[in-house]
Amino acid sequence: MSISVYGQDVERILVSEKEIDAITTRIAEEIDRDYENEEGKLVLLCILKGSVVFMGDLMKKIRRPVEIDFMRVSSYGEGTKSTGRIKIHLDLNRTDISECNILIIEDIIDSGRTLSYLSEYLRINGAKSVRTCTLLDKPSRREVEFSSDYVGKTIPDEFVVGYGLDYQEKYRALPYVGILKREVYEH
């Protein structure tokens, strides 16, 4: 089969389907082990939209019972630059939050603002515990100190798309994570 139309905009593949599969298997095992003796429910909180593919694959590999929930927030304005502000577009609406061990599932950590804000927000709202899990981490881009409990892969400062991640809502359905060609976003 020929390369997809969107695939042509990818400079090179950074995390292959095979590697992603190994990452989700490893993280699911870590989660099963770490939450074994926790009381309360485990709630996987998917941060829309970028984390939807990762969460779908990860949740199938976790053996212990989980509930799922969703929030939509944004820190990115136009293009590839962060605005530094976090806006909640879809909030978590649970009456049982004090019984929930919330594991935030994120696609990528860049400035660190989204996850540091969200972790604090959920703690203030009374979650039993809050941990974070990210597929990708770009530590060289941090503007606020933040480290995730689970990290799929640490990557260099490149703008990546695929496996849920977008550039202007495109490329989310690519089955791998690839570096977007600069000519696509630099004019």
At residue 107, what are phi and psi to the nearest 5 degrees?
-80, -45
**Please, what is the minimum distance in Å from the beta carbon of residue 29 to ligand IMP?**
24
**Binder to ligand IMP among 9, 57, 110, 137 (CB under 6 A)?**
110
Give whichever of 27 and 177 is closer to ligand IMP, judged by the CB atom. Answer: 177
Q: Where in 75-104 is the site for ligand IMP (CB under 6 A)?
A: 75-76, 82
Q: Confirm whether 110 is a catalytic residue.
A: yes
**Binder to ligand IMP among 24, 114, 119, 148 (CB under 6 A)?**
114
Residues 51-80: x/- map of binding to ligand IMP (CB under 6 A)? ------------------------xx----
Give the C-alpha separation, 39 to 88, whole Å.
29
Give the C-alpha separation, 187 to 167, whole Å.
15
**Please, what is the minimum distance in Å from the beta carbon of residue 75 to ligand IMP?**
4
Can you read off the two tokens belonging to residue 104?
Answer: 């935030």
Helix, strand, coil share (%) of the chain residues, nearest 5: 30, 35, 35
At residue 33, what are phi and psi to the nearest 5 degrees?
-70, -50
* Catalytic sites, residue numbers: 110
